[in-house]
Amino acid sequence: MLRTRVIPCLLLRNRGLVKTIGFRQPKYVGDPINSVKIFNEKEVDELVLLDIAASRMDALPDEDLLADIVSEAFMPIAYGGGIGSLDQARRLARLGIEKIIVNSAALRDSAIVSAIADQLGTSSTVVSIDVSRDWLGRARVFDAVAGRRLSLDPVEHARAMAARGAGEIFLNSVERDGAGRGLDLALIEAVSAAVPVPVIACGGAASLAHLREGANAGAAAIAAGSMFVYMGPHRAVMINYPDYGALERLFA
């Protein structure tokens, strides 16, 4: 296991694999099951799957698709999207999903975090926090379902979610999503210093140097989408993952 985990973050929409820029313009990039098979060959340690349409459409998780993905995956999978109740979390755990990710549901009622943590354990409970900066540069929680920035401070929200039982915080920058200009290091530093649980930083990583910067800022893990589904200056779709030895040397 790497000292700092490096996790492909795959976005699902209408049973396809997509990639966004700034949480917008989802572009189809392939079949999720084929992508998982490629990540198997590349010996990826874990995957994050986020259905970006489920909560917005008030739809339930696609259990048939997730069962197919889990049956093909050699690595643990964390899933988020459309989870609004403890019963849904239990059903996903029975499918073989190792970690349950909640985002919008926790914004509306944080009791769901405690309920999942009590039943499935804190190590299986992840709270995802989308963050957008306002015109003054202040970091604020972004509600992707409502499509708007809230007045909520992500540091305070992360503290509250950890107190509720979240075993990890998945921290995602809206503006840096798909931009490839590096992670929001100030945000990572602030949240990592404020919570007693690991922080997974996402949004903006496009190089090994960016991964290292995120780790130096305090992230326990770095998640990335574009970096692992695109290749080259013209962003050709090609599932890829760094050589394991290169990652070991990067975080030595």
Distance, in Å, from the CA atom of 58 to the CA atom of 69, rounded to the nearest integer, reads: 22
Backbone angles phi, psi at 12, to 5 degrees: -105, 145
φ and ψ of 84, to 5 deg: -125, 5
Tokens coding 139: 């970091």
Greatest Cα-to-Cα distance within the chain, rounded to the nearest angstrom: 46
Residue 217, burial from CB neighbour count under 10 angstroms (0-12, 13-18, 19+): buried
Q: Is 130 a catalytic residue?
A: yes
Catalytic residue among 51, 130, 143, 184: 130
Q: Could you tell me if 73 and 47 are in contact, meaning their C-beta atoms sit under 8 angstroms apart?
A: yes
What residues form DSSP beta bridges with 148?
143
- Residues recognised as catalytic: 130
